[in-house]
Copies of this chain bind each other. A is one copy, B any other.
Amino acid sequence: MKAGPSQEEIRRHNLGTLLRHVHIGGSMSRAVLAERMGLNRSTILGLVSDLAAAGLVREELPRDTGRAGRPSLVVRPESDQVYVLAFDVGVDRLTAARIGLGGVFLDRREMPMSPDRRDTGAVTETLSGFARQMIDTARHGTLCLGAAAAVRGMVRRADGVVRSAPYIDWKDEDFGEDLARRLDLGLPVSVGNEASLGALAEHLRGAGTGCQDLVYLHGDIGIGGGLVINGRLLDGDSGYGGEIGHMVVNPRGGRPCGCGARGCLEAEAGERALLEAAQRDPSAMGREAVRAVVEAADRGDSTARAALHDVGDWLGIGVANLVNILNPRTVVFGGTLREVFLGSAAQIRSRINCHALAASREQLRLRVGELGDNAVLIGAAELAFSAMLESPLETLARGRAL
Interface pairs (27), CB distance under 8 Å: A3-B13, A3-B38, A3-B43, A4-B14, A4-B17, A154-B360, A156-B359, A212-B237, A227-B326, A230-B235, A235-B327, A238-B327, A238-B359, A238-B360, A240-B357, A241-B325, A241-B326, A241-B327, A242-B325, A242-B327, A244-B325, A248-B321, A250-B252, A252-B252, A259-B357, A261-B355, A264-B355
Q: Is the CB of B2 within 8 A of A234?
A: no
Interface residue? A85 (CB, 8 A): no
Q: Is the CB of A230 within 8 A of B227?
A: no
Q: Is the CB of A38 within 8 A of B229?
A: no
Q: Which residues on B sit within 8 Å (CB–CB) of A20? A: 1
Which residues of A (245-262) have their CB < 8 Å from a CB of B? 246-253, 259, 261
Interface residue? A66 (CB, 8 A): no
Q: Is the CB of B243 within 8 A of A325?
A: yes
Q: Count the A residues whose beta carbon is within 8 Å of the partner chain — how many?
A: 70
Q: Which residues on B sit within 8 Å (CB–CB) of A141? A: none
Interface residue? A206 (CB, 8 A): no
Q: Which residues on B sit within 8 Å (CB–CB) of A9? A: 4
Q: Is the CB of A10 within 8 A of B17?
A: no
A329 to B238 alpha-carbon distance, docked (Å): 8
Q: Is the CB of A246 within 8 A of B357?
A: yes
Q: How many copies does the complex hold?
A: 2
Task: Considering the complex, give the chain B residue whose CB is closest to the CB of A364.
Answer: B237
Interface residue? A308 (CB, 8 A): no
Q: Is the CB of B359 within 8 A of A154?
A: yes
A110 to B117 alpha-carbon distance, docked (Å): 69
Q: Which residues on B sit within 8 Å (CB–CB) of A244? A: 324-325
Interface residue? A296 (CB, 8 A): no
Task: Considering the complex, give the chain B residue whose CB is closest to the CB of A34.
Answer: B3
Interface residue? A354 (CB, 8 A): yes
Flag A2-36 by CB within 8 Å of B: 1 or 0 each: 11110001110110010011000000000000001
Point out residues on A near B: beta carbons under 8 Å. 1-5, 9-11, 13-14, 17, 20-21, 36-39, 43, 154, 156, 163-164, 212-213, 225, 227, 229-230, 232, 234-244, 246-253, 259, 261, 264, 317, 320-322, 324-329, 354-360, 362-363
Q: Which residues on B sit within 8 Å (CB–CB) of A164? A: 357-359
Q: Which residues on B sit within 8 Å (CB–CB) of A242? A: 325, 327
Q: Is the CB of A324 within 8 A of B243?
A: yes
A39 to B6 alpha-carbon distance, docked (Å): 10
B3, B5, B250, B326: the one within 8 Å of A236 (CB) = B326
Q: Is the CB of B237 within 8 A of A329?
A: yes
> How far in angstroms is the closest Cβ of chain B from A173?
13
A37 to B3 alpha-carbon distance, docked (Å): 5
Q: Which residues on B sit within 8 Å (CB–CB) of A325? A: 225, 227, 241-244, 247, 322, 325
Instruction: List 5 additional A-B contacts (Cβ < 8 Å) besides A2-B38, A5-B10.
Output: A1-B20, A4-B14, A227-B326, A236-B326, A237-B327
B38, B39, B43, B163: the one within 8 Å of A359 (CB) = B163
> How far in angstroms is the closest Cβ of chain B from A229?
5
Task: Considering the complex, give the chain B residue whose CB is closest to the CB of A239.
Answer: B327
Task: Considering the complex, give the chain B residue whose CB is closest to the CB of A235.
Answer: B327
Q: Which residues on B sit within 8 Å (CB–CB) of A232? A: 230
The verdict on A213 contacting B240 (CB below 8 Å), with A4-B10, A359-B164 known, is: no
The verdict on A324 contacting B39 (CB below 8 Å), with A317-B251, A359-B164 known, is: no
> How far in angstroms is the closest Cβ of chain B from A257?
10
> How far in angstroms is the closest Cβ of chain B from A240?
4
> How far in angstroms is the closest Cβ of chain B from A37?
4
Q: Which residues on B sit within 8 Å (CB–CB) of A154? A: 357, 359-360
Task: Considering the complex, give the chain B residue whose CB is closest to the CB of A313.
Answer: B251
> How far in angstroms is the closest Cβ of chain B from A321?
5
> How far in angstroms is the closest Cβ of chain B from A378?
19
